Amino acid sequence: METTNLTADVLVIGFGKGGKTAAHVLADAGQRVVMIEQSENMYGGTCPNIGCVPTKMLVHYSNAKRLGDHAQEYFAQSIEGVRALTTAFRAGNLESLQRKGTATVITGTASFVDAHTVAVGEGDDRITVTAPTILVNTGSEPILPAIPGLAESSHLVTSTELTKTSNLPERLVVLGGGYQGLEFASIYRHFGTDVTILEAADRLLPREDEDIAETVAEILRGDGVTIITGAHVTGVRDNGATSTITYEKNGQTHTVEASALLPATGRRPVTAGLRLDAADVRTTPRGAIEVDEHLRTSQPHIYALGDVNGGEQFTYISLDDARIVLDQLTGQGKRSTSDRRAVPHTLFITPPLATVGLTETQARAQGLNIKVAKEKVADIIAMPRAYTVEETRGVMKFVVDADTDLILGAALLSIDAQEVVNTVALAMRHNITATELRDSIYTHPSTTEAFNEVFDKVVS
């Protein structure tokens, strides 16, 4: 058996946002970089292939559907549009790295041989790569809950499959009311699917304030989504064209039929098959690669970036992970995860919910002296944009320190919230007060000019 032996300055395992960003910078600096990605369908990582890009494109398509459009035909056309864009992005990601003179991309499954060497493939196709610095960026994968009959169901679908199939399901049942579950519920309801959400908790979005979560539920129900909270799923049974999902609520047993069943109950780091033990790389009890504030593993020359290190599962966190690692490798080595402040998040339902910082509940639990500014979007006179785009649902809510006037947190459930929240987050990072945001000049009509009014709507 012959093995091809390669050496590199930096080995990157996983073509995700953090890994590819670091690979580009290091290759541009003249370092020899080898990138290993297990699937030719994942060049560029989760976001452009099966995550952010396809799902948000489906949000756009689903909201653009007209009353006269045939649901199945329109959906199939939408999926073709998604395929075309993701294919272009995937090719672009590969080509942009491959064309660098000091970068090589290898497609195959990587496993550690020792702390400095990784093997790809077997037999005559076996390649080993040895490097003094290794970055692991293998991402995360969906968790399949241990529900009798679920794994065997022919109607079980993953989020990846839902972004690729051309067949619009007649009845979609979503297990879990978190970000992923609510986004898919909103998307498919707008396409015309009958959607039911089964959530084990007493309400949706338990980490958000109850008034915000309830407004989200009202919007989804208004769109026709059936939401059942306090539902504990006990079994799945296939019946030909559908599955029967059995659940318990308030001591009673109920059933719901589904032609497609999506578990949206979380994701776990992808470490199986890496043979981390061969490199003496430690993992956490939850299966993530253990890292310090500089993203170093138990082997100081091995770093873990993105979902695999157990941090927040967002593309922009993976990007910031790359900044931290690059500062270690080529900078001053000062940047760390502790530098992160006011990191925003967006739930892409329609309209989107964007949040940053503390909720009102969290602030009061900490004993902070706060005031809360809150107003329904439909009542914000200073924000006519909501009326011009015919989307007046939602609410804006800010938690403000009553002593310093600094913004502690925000929940923006409104048109353009995914953009507006970035302004709020920037203000929080640079200690810009609520009064300054209120009295600033904004373009008109825009969503940001809601600040001119909402900060005066103190409700508690």
Nearest to 315 by CA among 9, 100, 55: 55
| Residue 174 main-chain phi, psi, to 5 deg | -105, 125
Query: 4-141+268-339: what fold?
Result: FAD/NAD(P)-binding domain (3.50.50)
CA distance 329 to 323: 10
Is the pLDDT assigned to residue 120 strictly greater than 90?
Answer: yes
CA distance 170 to 195: 9
Q: Please, what is the average pLDDT of the chain? A: 95
Span between the terminal Cα atoms of the chain, in Å: 74
254 is catalytic: no
For residue range 41-71, list pLDDT tens digits in order: 888 888 888 788 999 999 999 999 998 999 9
Side-chain-side CA neighbours of 73 within 13 Å: the count stands at 5
> Residue 458 in contact with residue 371, Cβ under 8 Å?
yes
For domain 345-454, give the CATH superfamily: FAD/NAD-linked reductase, C-terminal dimerisation domain (3.30.390.30)
Q: In the chain, where are the structural domains located?
A: 4-141+268-339, 159-265, 345-454
From the list 70, 232, 301, 444, the catalytic residue is: 444
CA distance 148 to 393: 39
CATH 3.50.50.60 fits 159-265, yes or no: yes
Q: Which two tokens stand for residue 87?
A: 């294919």
Side-chain-side CA neighbours of 233 within 13 Å: the count stands at 29
Nearest to 172 by CA among 82, 112, 239, 243: 243
For residue range 378-397, list pLDDT tens digits in order: 999 999 999 999 999 999 99
Mean pLDDT, residues 305-331 = 95
Q: Count other Cβ atoms within 10 Å, centred on residue 59.
A: 18
Percent share of the chain, pLDDT over 70: 99
Is the pLDDT assigned to residue 256 strictly greater than 80?
Answer: yes
CA distance 154 to 108: 29
Q: Which residue has the tokens 């004993």?
A: 367
Say whether 159-265 and 4-141+268-339 share the same fold.
yes
Is the pLDDT assigned to residue 97 strictly greater than 50?
Answer: yes
Query: 384: cis peptide before it, omega within 30°?
Result: no
The per-residue pLDDT for 1 is: 45
Mean pLDDT, residues 282-304 = 97
Q: Which two tokens stand for residue 209?
A: 């304030």
Helix spans in 65-201 (H) = 71-98, 159-162, 179-191
Is the pLDDT assigned to residue 460 strictly greater than 70?
Answer: no
